């Protein structure tokens, strides 16, 4: 029996020996002292990019045509792989889906039946690059590609300390490994250790200074775990500095122009959402809650930056905004009795259930109710195959609130859950299932109606939903646990593990980081071994981005709590500051 199923009296009894925080006094309102948003409506309303003009879109079309010509001209395997990789890293994949598929199909079909003879002898760099690109694109490739290149230490002597670029590419490829792929797991351990030692040596060499930056970048967060759009400007600067001289000038010009055109589209989306948020007026009425519209919007940009995903960004920004508000209601404001009433109201989707609640909780529920109905209506309008969406949206909100109520009971009774018990609830309170379901319905659909309208379509892929949600939760805990402990919040995974295993915080954090890596291996197996229908590939990419956004959000703390300099800089870079080009006014 889990803690939330025990009578309150038994939970309190259990807490006597397990409590690690003080139980609050009845009806005591807490505060996290969240600061007002630094992004004012007038500033957002003033955003205006010249790259919204047709002349720039026409110029982009010319450059796209030119890059397609490069695809045709490129015959060398290494050059073709590097071109494909650069297109992805520069945020241009959606312009060249057909060309990339044709190129990779050719690579596979040309050598079908042979054991990778097309890979250059002892060329670890090309082998690792080929493996990473093919697997990421859903092709069935095996770690056996590396068998002829690996020794008992996990890597050939020829490609060890001297060939840093090969080691770096092998490290990147290893993050696409499955749980059973020991060759790649050993390679990951070896390359990580070797590259850490190598950094200081190559950093002192003028010609390798840029390569050192790439090593640090990959060790910080590997490419597979990064939000590609958040990384585009970094990649552009790297290409400009010449480390990847294979990148055609035409491609770089297109990447810069494309970034600015996309940014102009995102600015219009944000202006519209800022107007909605201001008209809603919740900032003044719910002063205890976080006001983080722009940060919420950036999350949705991380999930899908492409212009065709406007509906998804609009819907999910509203959802993320309410996730923060509702989370603050449970964490900070409501008493246990009030939270039970609020949870019942969401579960029954009935405004009458809030009659006995404080005004701010009534306002919160009414706004959630109205906004969710609006989102359901907009989804049904945008996607004619989607019908009766509201019951699905209501259910995931109810599940989310129930999970928050479990955590509230733990907090108010001083109950310390076991690590397993914590995780069994925390993957839902992470908001992962809620985000993924809204994402599925609000994206442009190319799948059949039977998939869209199946009430258990996510349940059939519950392992994927669980693992992505788990990463969101664990990344969140790593970034916020210290502040939450200081504030006296309910225990995180780190605290639960520390208490249960009697270990230090450093040991607990290392364990959690190891769990994240293993969870990614499970996600890789689900996404890259043919288990997912082709019709759902677009959704899978968005789902993976949800996990990637979590890595970005909590890398340097809590991006939703304190509006730290790094987050502000990233938002300005993504949404306000265009890339300097020769094609427009900057």
pLDDT per position as a tens digit, 426-456: 999 999 999 999 998 898 765 545 455 554 6
Which of these, 436, 356, 363, 369, lies nearest to 396 by C-alpha position?
436
List strand residue ranges (DSSP E) for 190-334, in order: none
Which of these, 69, 81, 130, lies nearest to 254 by C-alpha position?
69
Distance, in Å, from the CA atom of 343 to the CA atom of 354, rounded to the nearest integer, reads 10
Between CA 465 and CA 512, with CA 321 as vertex, the angle to 5 degrees is: 45
Mean predicted lDDT score pLDDT of the chain: 86
CB 484 within 8 A of CB 476: no
- How many CA atoms are closer than 13 Å to the CA of 229, on its beta-carbon side? 26
pTM of the model: 0.90
Query: Residue 286 falls within a domain, yes or no?
Result: no
Which of these, 250, 300, 256, 272, lies nearest to 578 by C-alpha position?
256
Domain count of the chain?
Answer: 2
Domain check: are 444 and 496 in the same one?
A: yes
Between CA 480 and CA 488, with CA 327 as vertex, the angle to 5 degrees is: 50
pLDDT for position 564: 65
CB 365 within 8 A of CB 354: yes
Distance, in Å, from the CA atom of 336 to the CA atom of 341, rounded to the nearest integer, reads 9
Place of tokens 């690059």: 129
Domain check: are 401 and 471 in the same one?
A: yes
CB 223 within 8 A of CB 58: no
We report the CATH number of the domain holding residue 215 as: 1.50.10.130
Query: Residue 322 falls within a domain, yes or no?
Result: yes
- Which of residues 204, 236, 254 is at a domain's end? 254
Give pLDDT tens digits along the chain (586 positions). Answer: 344 433 333 333 333 333 344 444 445 677 767 888 999 999 999 999 999 999 999 999 999 999 999 988 888 888 999 999 999 999 999 999 999 999 999 888 876 655 555 565 568 898 999 999 999 998 888 898 887 776 655 555 444 445 888 999 999 999 999 999 999 999 999 999 989 988 877 665 556 777 888 999 999 999 999 999 999 999 999 988 774 555 688 999 999 999 999 999 999 999 999 999 999 999 999 999 999 999 999 999 999 999 999 999 999 999 999 999 999 999 999 999 999 999 999 999 999 999 999 999 999 999 999 999 999 999 988 877 777 899 999 999 999 999 999 999 999 999 999 999 999 999 999 999 999 999 988 987 655 454 555 546 667 788 999 999 999 999 999 988 777 777 767 889 999 999 999 999 999 999 999 999 999 999 999 999 877 777 678 889 999 999 999 999 887 666 666 666 678 889 999 999 999 987 654 4
Which of these, 454, 457, 468, 443, lies nearest to 526 by C-alpha position?
468
Domain check: are 184 and 232 in the same one?
A: yes
pLDDT for position 10: 36
Domain check: are 405 and 303 in the same one?
A: yes
Distance, in Å, from the CA atom of 584 to the CA atom of 586, rounded to the nearest integer, reads 6
CB 221 within 8 A of CB 201: no
Instruction: Write out the two tokens for 137.
Output: 């694109």
The full length of the chain comes to: 586
- Domain hosting residue 80, numbered range: 73-254
Domain check: are 246 and 298 in the same one?
A: no
Query: Residue 586 falls within a domain, yes or no?
Result: no
CB 441 within 8 A of CB 379: yes
pLDDT for position 184: 93
Domain check: are 164 and 82 in the same one?
A: yes
Domain check: are 232 and 134 in the same one?
A: yes
pLDDT for position 14: 36
pLDDT for position 460: 75
Which of these, 325, 295, 377, 314, lies nearest to 554 by C-alpha position?
295
Domain check: are 221 and 321 in the same one?
A: no
Distance, in Å, from the CA atom of 146 to the CA atom of 123, rounded to the nearest integer, reads 10
Domain check: are 376 and 466 in the same one?
A: yes
Distance, in Å, from the CA atom of 367 to the CA atom of 350, rounded to the nearest integer, reads 13
Kindly give, in sequence order, each residue whose CB lies less than 8 Å from that of residue 370, ignoring residues fewer than 6 positions away: none
Query: Residue 60 falls within a domain, yes or no?
Result: no
**What is the three-class DSSP state of 327?**
helix
Distance, in Å, from the CA atom of 327 to the CA atom of 180, rounded to the nearest integer, reads 38
CB 348 within 8 A of CB 369: no
pLDDT for position 110: 75
We report the CATH number of the domain holding residue 391 as: 1.10.600.10
Query: Residue 169 falls within a domain, yes or no?
Result: yes
Distance, in Å, from the CA atom of 456 to the CA atom of 454, rounded to the nearest integer, reads 5
Query: Residue 534 falls within a domain, yes or no?
Result: yes
Distance, in Å, from the CA atom of 277 to the CA atom of 282, rounded to the nearest integer, reads 8
460 secondary structure, DSSP code:
G
Query: Residue 476 falls within a domain, yes or no?
Result: yes
Query: Residue 471 falls within a domain, yes or no?
Result: yes
Distance, in Å, from the CA atom of 317 to the CA atom of 362, rounded to the nearest integer, reads 22
Domain check: are 248 and 318 in the same one?
A: no
Domain check: are 541 and 418 in the same one?
A: yes
Q: Is 352 exposed, middle or buried (0-12, 13-18, 19+ CB in 10 A)?
A: exposed
Domain check: are 246 and 295 in the same one?
A: no
CB 435 within 8 A of CB 413: no
């Amino acid at each position: 029996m889990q803690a939330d199923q025990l009578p309150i009296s038994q939970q309190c009894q259990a807490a006597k020996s397990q409590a690690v925080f003080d139980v609050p006094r009845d009806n005591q309102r807490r505060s996290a002292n969240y600061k007002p948003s630094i992004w004012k409506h007038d500033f957002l309303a003033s955003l205006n990019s010249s790259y919204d003009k047709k002349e720039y879109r026409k110029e982009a079309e010319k450059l796209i045509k030119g890059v397609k010509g490069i695809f045709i001209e490129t015959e060398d395997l290494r050059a073709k792989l590097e071109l494909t990789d650069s297109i992805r890293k520069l945020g241009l994949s959606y312009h060249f889906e057909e060309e990339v598929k044709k190129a990779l199909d050719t690579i596979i079909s040309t050598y079908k039946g042979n054991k990778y003879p097309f890979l250059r002898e002892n060329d670890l760099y090309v082998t690792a690059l080929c493996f990473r690109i093919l697997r990421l694109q859903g092709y069935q490739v095996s770690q056996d590609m590396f068998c002829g290149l690996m020794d008992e230490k996990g890597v050939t002597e020829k490609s060890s300390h001297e060939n840093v670029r090969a080691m770096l590419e092998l490290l990147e490829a290893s993050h696409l490994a499955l749980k059973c792929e020991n060759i790649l797991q050993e390679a990951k351990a070896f390359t990580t250790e070797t590259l850490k030692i190598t950094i200081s040596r190559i950093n002192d060499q003028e010609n390798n200074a840029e390569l050192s930056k790439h090593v640090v970048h990959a060790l910080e967060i590997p490419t597979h775990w990064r939000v590609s759009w958040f990384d585009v400007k970094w990649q552009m600067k790297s290409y400009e500095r010449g480390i990847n001289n294979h990148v055609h000038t035409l491609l770089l010009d297109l990447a810069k122009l494309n970034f600015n055109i996309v940014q102009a589209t995102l600015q219009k989306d944000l202006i519209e959402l800022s107007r909605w948020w201001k008209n809603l007026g919740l900032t003044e009425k719910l002063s205890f809650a976080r006001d983080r519209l722009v940060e919420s919007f950036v999350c949705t940009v991380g999930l899908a930056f492409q212009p065709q995903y406007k509906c998804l960004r609009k819907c999910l920004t509203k959802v993320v905004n309410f996730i923060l508000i509702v989370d603050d209601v449970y964490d900070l404001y409501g008493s246990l009795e009030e939270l039970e009433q609020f949870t019942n109201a969401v579960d029954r989707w009935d405004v009458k259930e809030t009659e006995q609640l404080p005004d701010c909780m009534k306002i919160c529920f009414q706004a959630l109710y109205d906004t969710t109905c609006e989102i359901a209506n907009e989804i049904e309008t945008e996607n004619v195959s989607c019908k009766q969406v509201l019951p699905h949206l209501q259910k995931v909100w109810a599940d989310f609130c129930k999970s928050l109520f479990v955590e509230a009971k733990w907090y108010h009774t001083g109950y310390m859950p076991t690590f397993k018990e914590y995780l069994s609830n925390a993957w839902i309170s992470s908001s992962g299932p809620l985000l993924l379901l809204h994402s599925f319905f609000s994206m442009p659909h190319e799948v059949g109606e039977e998939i869209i309208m199946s009430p258990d379509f996510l349940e059939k892929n519950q392992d994927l939903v669980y693992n992505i949600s788990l990463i969101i939760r664990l990344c969140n805990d790593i970034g916020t646990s210290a502040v939450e402990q200081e504030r006296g919040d309910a225990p995180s995974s780190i605290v639960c593990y520390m208490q249960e295993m009697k270990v230090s915080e450093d040991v607990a954090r290392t364990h959690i980081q190891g769990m994240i890596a293993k969870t990614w291996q499970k996600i890789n197996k689900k996404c890259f071994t043919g288990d997912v229908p082709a019709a759902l590939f677009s959704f899978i990419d968005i789902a993976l981005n949800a996990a990637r956004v979590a890595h970005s959000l909590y890398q340097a703390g809590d991006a939703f709590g304190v509006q730290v300099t790094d987050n502000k800089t990233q938002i300005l870079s993504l949404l306000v500051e265009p890339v300097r080009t020769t094609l427009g006014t900057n």
